[in-house]
Structure 1
Amino acid sequence: MKRNLLYILLAGVLTQTACQKDFLDKSPSDGYSNESLWTTEAAASAALNGCYKGWETSTNILYMDAVSDNSYSQWAWDNFQHLGNGTATATDPQVVSQWDYVTIQKCNWFIENVDKATIGDDLKNRFKAEARFLRAYRYFLLSQLYGDVPLVTKNISVAEANSISRTARADVRKFITDELAAIALILPDKYSGSDVGRITKGAALSLRARVELFDKNYAAAIEDCKKVMALGYSLYPNYTDLFRQDKKNNQEVILDVQYKANEKDNANTDLGILPSSGYGGWASLSPTQSLVDAYEMTNGKTIDDPASGYSEDNPYANRDPRLAANVVYPGLQYSGKFYDPITSGGADYYSEGNNSPTGYLVRKFVPFLSDFPDMWNTGVNIIVIRYAEVLLTYAEAQIESGVMDNSVYQALDDIRTRAGMPVVDRAVYNNIASLRTLIRRERRVELALEGLRWYDIQRWQIGTTVRTGTVYGTRLGTVDAGTGKVTLTGNHVVVEQRNFNPQRDYLWPVPQKERDINKTLGQNPGY
């Protein structure tokens, strides 16, 4: 019998929701029947843990920036390269599919069955609220990437799954925001102990604000951001350390993918691939010159400002400290040596082996390789939503509403000064148009390599500007191994050519294998 990904058999759910010692356990130790599953709190909790399994992955977060102008995925088998350069098709086996209803169906099953559990109503409602969030999050991804998608909120049969039609995107988005508003009234502000990492009120409100911003519902986004601001989150003092393994679950993190070394590790496909040959890995993701150029000088001026002090021959000097926190560039001291992708014959030369074809490495989430005794088995969490995004959402929503009061400047100042940058120059950014430009740049450099840039391109409709033409990397030259001094004498390396069709490429193709099973799905324009 054909089996659409939209449907998952109960037996499959039970296999993944077996008893776990705590929330972070990697694998089940034994199983339940549906009759016995709801007899204890521990069993119901184990079933909910199964809903968390695979709700989001660090691979997806990291690689989404390769669909944008921020980074490049050099290995086609990682399945993001063709989406990034505009060559993706519905039948391309090297195009990642987010058309995935497994989490949704697990959550539907849980929500329909948990009332059988002999546990208190408050805990039962909280459990259901967590599952409703996970379902809403998956619908956010589906509707963002594919537009109209089937909206399924109950268990369905194989026959129903294989014949269900797509729901209008607007209706899916209303379902998401309604659900998030409702569960925000149920979920706690925070957790303790082994429950840390579960869905909170702040996560529900922050995701709702993200969806509202993307849908240009600015007034609602502002209100939800204000609610999050009142919950006690704050910016972590050190931007670089924010992403380190031993600083996870800090006061800035609102939602993340939880990992734990030796149990539920963040391994190869998620983290260990990022360093290049000289660091014992391979550069699957490579930041672009375009991203590097987006960072201001430490005086707050952009590099194209003649008064900025920027030098093409010394391009990494006096730059926004977030550049070095996010990107390993030539001459940067990293893991005990000066990184050198530009000297021919070196271990990390850009065109050899598994090295970065742009000459830049991702540093965010792997800021210090010394943090990881085994980089193939780490416990670093991958952040999905953090407080800085909420501040940027608030500022953008206010600006797009025609408001540029002190609260907007303050939100930007807080983010910039935390990073070691000057406050916003009110004399320069003194109107809606200039402040919009600044906010968009701040989103790019602050949230770089966290998987959000593509969504910004999508809603700002700037794909034809930033996703076409030549992708460049660093200039060539030499790096002094003893001092790190960079001498640039060559041209920028050419990475690839990209195309962007605005009538097609703001949405992903519905996978042909899904349409072969379900003839009613249709296809997005241009595919």
Structure 2
Amino acid sequence: MKKTLILSLFLSITFTACQKDFLDRNPKDAYSNSSLWSSENDALVALNGCYNSWSDGYHVLYMDALSDNVYSQYYWEGYTSLGNGSGSPSDTWITDRWSPSYSTIQKSNWFLENVDKTPMDEALKTRMKAEARFLRAYQYFTLSQLYGDVPLVTKTLSQDEANAVSRTAVSEIQKYILDELKAITPELPVKYSANDVGRITRGAALSLKARLELYSGKYADCIITSKQVMEMGYSLFSSYQDLFRIQNENNNEIILDIQYKENDYSNGNIGIMPSSTFGGWGSIDPTQSLVDAYEMANGKTIDDPGANYNKNDPYKGRDPRLTASIVYPGQFYEGKYYNPIERSSGDYYNGSNNSKTGYLYKKYTSNLSDYPDLWNTGLNMILIRYAEILLTYAEAKIESASIDNSVYDAIDALRQRAGMPKVDRSIYANQTTLRELVRRERRVELALEGLRWFDIKRWKIGPQVREGKVYGTRLGTVDPTNGALVLTGEHVEAESRTFSSERDYLWPIPRKETDVNRNLTQNPGYPN
């Protein structure tokens, strides 16, 4: 689908004219509906327009900055204030998630209201409508997770109508999403071929359904839905680190991703991850808290007396997913031993465009030679992969107190793929300990993939993990010949955060929208 989902010029013009604000409004330009819907190709181009803005890889990378996983150092990139508890309805980046989501909803509504007039194969038309309905449902999933109650609009609106809509209860939105996903699942193919690879599949619909069922505590339904996905032929890719490389995209672990194409519809976000000496900005920086979450290679947590953890050589003998996901001091990376802890180093944590925690993303950038231009790549951004389904299934079984061998099997599959031992069943033998384990597995397996914040929100652990100081690596020296560490200093401090349970589980409704439409009430704790 690298070629298929690139907008044609005329559709770009169509939608550019209608993005003034919120639900902006009927697409109007020189192409009338009567002339646009005259062929199968017209319908395909219109559907591709719905795909074009349905999700943004930028937000996938930055979402972990809302959590204890990542610190976002540049305020103007949009996630610093949301991560430290100082977000405001007036922040422009609040609108940067709201407006594109409703733009996709509007495009999908317009497509669904008009495609039936197209003379084309009915089976293909049915499939295309299912794709558009998924794209719309995905936006409502995202909006309701971030903002809570939001307007539920399933038809095109006039400007006056759009400026008078009110917020719909989250419970109603969730029911709508689940009903939509259930309805469209049989209308979507299991997989595609050639240029259609990357379109919405049956597995994507079921996987989003399972995610929402887990998030909303519908564990019995979640188990059933997860099993359906587990029986569809997906499998774990052989290498955890190489899973995220461009040459391995569209592999059998990927259920849903955002497709990019170098030069035409490029992923220009890769450069935000490396630091200055690698040609990047060091914008989003993994935290010490995330590093500490990885177990030792023997399967014990670092605070276990039997773990053999050495605080002065803290990265030795750890879960291989740590090395695969994060560049830490002394790691050999891109031809040198990374050194953010000495003032004389070009990667020093306090230098310009360098990580302020001393840690870098390695997931997506394990081999920078994959990208001739970090700001113009074709790397797809993964939204749902099979590993998440295994963890979703395991968590739903644990929370419903139906623990059996299949729970351990699901978690063991991920651990063994990474090179970790199977779960010690003598330690993780009941609901309480297994809950702790599966939450940790979700954190390290899915680290830096934009899902941690949603877990914090649904587990209601914000005060425990989002309050207080954010730390990075300890200072010291790195031997440039072998990467050996001598750590003598304290952990660097990136920022101090606050968290209000009454406010910070939801984003504020953008002031741009509440100023136009007084029916859009503000979320608790934010100024009107």
Task: Mark yes or no: TM-score above 0.5.
Answer: yes
Distance 1:348 1:133 in 2: 43
Letter in 2 for 1:434: T
CA distance in 1, matches of 2:332, 2:412: 29
State the partner residue of 2:423: 424
Amino acid aligned to 1:222: I
1:7-22 map, 5 Å: 7-11=24-28
Q: How far apart in 2 are the matches of 1:97 and 1:175?
A: 24
Rounded Cα–Cα distance in structure 1 between residues aligned with 2:94 and 2:442: 27
Partner of 1:447: 446
| Correspondences of 1:129-278 after superposition (within 5 Å) | 129-267=130-268, 270-278=269-277
Aligned-residue identity in percent:
60
Q: CA deviation at 1:366?
A: 1.2
Give yes or no for contact 1:80–1:95 (8 Å, CA) kept in 2. no
CA shift, 1:9, in A, is 3.2
- Letter paired with 1:384: L
Matched with 1:485 is 484
Partner SS, residue 166 of structure 2:
coil
Q: What SS is found at the alignment partner of 2:38?
A: coil
Does the aligned pair in 2 maintain the 1:277–1:354 contact within 8 Å? yes
Q: Any residues of structure 2 matched to 1:66-465 within 5 Å, and which? A: 66-93=65-92, 95=94, 97-100=96-99, 101-267=102-268, 270-465=269-464
Conserved in 1, the CA contact under 8 Å of 2:339 and 2:478? yes
CA shift digits 1:494-517 (9 cap, x unpaired): 110000000110011001110000
Root-mean-square deviation over aligned CA pairs? 1.3
- Partners of 1:380 and 1:133 lie apart in 2 by 23
CA distance in 1, matches of 2:94, 2:107: 25
- The question of whether the paired residues in 1 share the 8 Å contact of 2:477 and 2:486 is answered with yes
Aligned equivalents of 1:86, 1:164: Cα separation in 2: 28
5+ long unaligned stretches in structure 2: 1-17
How many angstroms apart in 2 are the aligned matches of 1:426 and 1:44? Answer: 54
Letter in 1 for 2:323: A
The C-alpha deviation readout for 1:436-465, integer Å capped at 9, x for no partner, is: 000000000000000000000000000000
1:2–1:517 CA contact under 8 A, matched in 2: no
Deviation at 1:96, TM superposition (A): 5.6
Gap change, CA 1:360 and 1:205, over 3 Å in 2: same
Aligned partner of residue 187 in structure 2, secondary structure: coil
Distance 1:2 1:108, change over 3 A: closer
SS at match of 1:516: helix
Contact 1:358-1:493 within 8 A present in 2 as well: yes
Counterpart-to-counterpart distance in 2, 1:77 and 1:33:
39
Q: Structure 1 residues 4 and 72, CA, compared in 2 at 3 Å: closer, same or farther?
A: same
Q: Deviations over 1:232-290 (max 9, x none)?
A: 000001000000000000000000000111221111xx211211011011100000000
Alpha-carbon distance, 1:98 to partner: 2.0
Q: Corresponding residue for 1:511?
A: 510
Deviations 1:208-255 (A, max 9, x none): 000110000001111110110111000001000000000000000000
Report the AA paired with residue 215 of structure 1.
S
* 1: CA distance, partners of 2:21 / 2:197: 34
2:287–2:472 CA contact under 8 A, matched in 1? yes
- Larger deviation, residues 45-54 vs 95-104: 95-104
Q: Structure 2: which amino acid aligns with 1:157?
A: S
Partners of 1:349 and 1:98 in 2: CA distance:
33
TM-score (norm 1): 0.95
1:115, CA displacement in angstroms? Answer: 0.2
8 Å contact kept, 2:104–2:135: yes
Q: Do the aligned partners of 1:97 and 1:511 also contact (CA within 8 Å) in 2?
A: no
Query: Unpaired segments of 5 or more residues in structure 1?
Result: 13-30
Aligned partners of 2:436, 2:397: CA distance in 1, in Å? Answer: 14
Counterparts of 2:20 and 2:174 in 1: how far apart (Å)? 27
Superposed CA deviations along residues 358-381 of structure 1, whole A, max 9, x for unmatched, are 000011111110111111211111
Equivalents in 1 of 2:322, 2:511: separation in Å? 40
CA offsets, 1:302-330, max 9 Å, x none? 00001001000000000000001110000
Q: Which residue of 1 aligns with 2:475?
A: 476
Is the 1:90–1:512 Cα contact (8 Å) retained in structure 2? yes
AA matched with 1:197? G
Query: Quick one: distance in 1 between partners of 2:19 and 2:450?
Result: 33
- Distance in 1 separating the partners of 2:300 and 2:233: 32
CA contact (8 A) 2:26 2:156 kept: no
Q: Distance in 2 between matches of 1:139 and 1:58?
A: 17
| Residue correspondences, number | 507
Question: Could you tell me which of 13, 19, 23 is aligned with 1:6?
Answer: 23
Separation in 2, partners of 1:125, 1:187: 9
Task: Give the match for residue 12 of structure 2.
Answer: none
Amino acid at match of 1:333: F
1-structure distance, mates of 2:522, 2:376: 40
- Whether the 8 Å contact between 1:82 and 1:95 is mirrored in structure 2 is no
Q: TM-score, normalised by structure 2?
A: 0.95
State the one-letter code of the partner of 1:508. W
The residue aligned with 1:17 is none
Contact 1:79 1:96 in 2 (8 A): no
Q: Is 1:276–1:282's contact at 8 Å kept on the other side of the alignment?
A: yes
Distance in 1 (alpha carbons) for counterparts of 2:293 and 2:152: 39
- Whether the aligned pair in 2 keeps the contact of 1:80 and 1:96 (CA below 8 Å) is no
> Aligned AA for 1:56?
S
1:4 offset after TM fit, Å? 3.6
- Separation in 2, partners of 1:130, 1:42: 16
For 2:522 and 2:456, the matched residues in 1 are separated by 22
Q: Find the aligned partners of 1:2 and 1:57 in 2 and give their Cα distance.
A: 17
| Separation of aligned partners in 1, 2:121 and 2:19 | 40
Measured after TM superposition, the shift of residue 90 of structure 1 is 1.1
Distance 1:97 1:67 in 2: 15
| Greater alpha carbon shift after TM alignment, 345-354 vs 90-99 | 90-99
* Residue deviations 1:406-446 (CA, integer Å, cap 9, x gap): 00000000010000000000000001000000000000000
CA shift for structure 1 position 94: 5.4
CA contact (8 A) 1:299 1:422 kept: yes
Over 3 Å counting, the alpha-carbon distance change for 1:365 and 1:332 in structure 2 is: same
The alpha carbon displacement at 1:93 in A equals 3.7
